A = this chain, B = another copy of it.
Amino acid sequence: MFFVKLVSYTQDGERVVAIASKMSRSRKGWEHHEKSMTDEEVDTWIEDAVLHGYWSPLEHSVYTFSVEGISRVASHQLVRHRVASYTQMSHRFAKPVDEYYDPVMPPSAEKRENVRKAYDEAYREVYKEYYSLLSQGVPEEDARYVLPNGVNTNIVITMNARELYNFFSLRLCSRAQWEIRKIAWSMLEEVKRVHPRLFKYAGPSCIIHENFIRNTPVTLDNLSVEQEFISQRCIEGVPRDGIVKCISNSKHF
């Protein structure tokens, strides 16, 4: 079962980011700012950092997710993000048998009965082969070679707010593969719930780059079809007129 949950994070992360940011410009110490910084100042320091690419203070707020029931297709892509920490369920030691075998069905299959049946069939047959190999004494670490790429796994991920901005810019994009995109949108929802001010400007790269070059920022929340982009194209090549529509599509799986 697909499941993305924020299981731990820097409780006062928004203040931590803002104080760290201010300390780069100030001669005073942490305790002074801790006591004196107002909520308005927190907003200002965060906005200033994100809209000008001063990313380093965002590294001091950190988030741990449990991401469960995803395929090894998705986990293989996830761990390519190197500025992050991962602990993954190992099929060398944890056999995906019985109720723990629950391979991922792509949405493109769910919608077409024939196709869905083909997946079901393929997944079921391969499971039999896997089980049979185990019965013949093949070690788990070898038997799993026949398991499908869609086989389910769990992974614990820790990323800081700066890396999350980068992760979101790449993986919320409609060009990202649907499963990692779905994970990214779920992670965004989780962090916006606890730190709405810190992730106010998070979005796919079209939004990030647009905000680096314009005077009035845009956010995912204030986008509408009337929004005029200055960018002639997004970094992936979508022309100006198609960007808002493309963002909207990226939320459908």
**Chain A residues with a Cβ under 8 A of chain B:** 3, 5, 7-8, 10-13, 16, 19-21, 23-27, 29-31, 34, 52-53, 56-57, 59-60, 62, 64, 66, 68, 71-73, 75-76, 79-80, 82-83, 85-90, 92-96, 100, 103-106, 108-109, 112, 114-115, 118-119, 121-123, 125-126, 129-130, 132-133, 136, 138-139, 141-142, 144-151, 154, 156, 158, 160, 177-178, 205, 209-210, 212-215, 230-237
- In the complex, the answer to whether A93 meets B24 with C-beta atoms within 8 Å is yes
Kindly report which residue of chain B lies nearest to residue A90, judged by CB atoms.
B24
Kindly report which residue of chain B lies nearest to residue A107, judged by CB atoms.
B142
Q: With contacts A29-B3, A85-B160, A156-B20 known, is A145 near B106, CB below 8 A?
A: yes
- In the complex, the answer to whether B212 meets A89 with C-beta atoms within 8 Å is no
A28 CB → nearest B CB, Å: 8
CB < 8 Å neighbour of A57 from B21, B87, B105: B87
Contacts of A158 in B (CB 8 A): 59-60, 62, 160
Q: With contacts A60-B8, A235-B212 known, is A76 near B72, CB below 8 A?
A: yes
- In the complex, the answer to whether B89 meets A27 with C-beta atoms within 8 Å is yes
- In the complex, the answer to whether A132 meets B118 with C-beta atoms within 8 Å is yes
- In the complex, the answer to whether B52 meets A30 with C-beta atoms within 8 Å is no
- Docked Cα-Cα span, A12 to B11, in Å, equals 11
- Docked Cα-Cα span, A250 to B108, in Å, equals 44
Kindly report which residue of chain B lies nearest to residue A145, judged by CB atoms.
B150
- In the complex, the answer to whether B232 meets A52 with C-beta atoms within 8 Å is no
Contacts of A7 in B (CB 8 A): 16, 30, 34
- In the complex, the answer to whether B24 meets A16 with C-beta atoms within 8 Å is no
Count this chain's copies in the assembly: 4
- Docked Cα-Cα span, A209 to B29, in Å, equals 35
Contacts of A79 in B (CB 8 A): 76, 79-80
- In the complex, the answer to whether B231 meets A230 with C-beta atoms within 8 Å is yes
| 20 additional A-B residue pairs with CB within 8 Å, beyond A11-B11, A119-B145 | A8-B16, A8-B60, A23-B87, A24-B90, A25-B90, A27-B89, A29-B68, A56-B87, A59-B85, A73-B144, A79-B80, A122-B126, A122-B130, A123-B146, A125-B126, A144-B149, A149-B149, A210-B213, A215-B232, A230-B230
- In the complex, the answer to whether A86 meets B149 with C-beta atoms within 8 Å is no
- In the complex, the answer to whether B8 meets A12 with C-beta atoms within 8 Å is yes
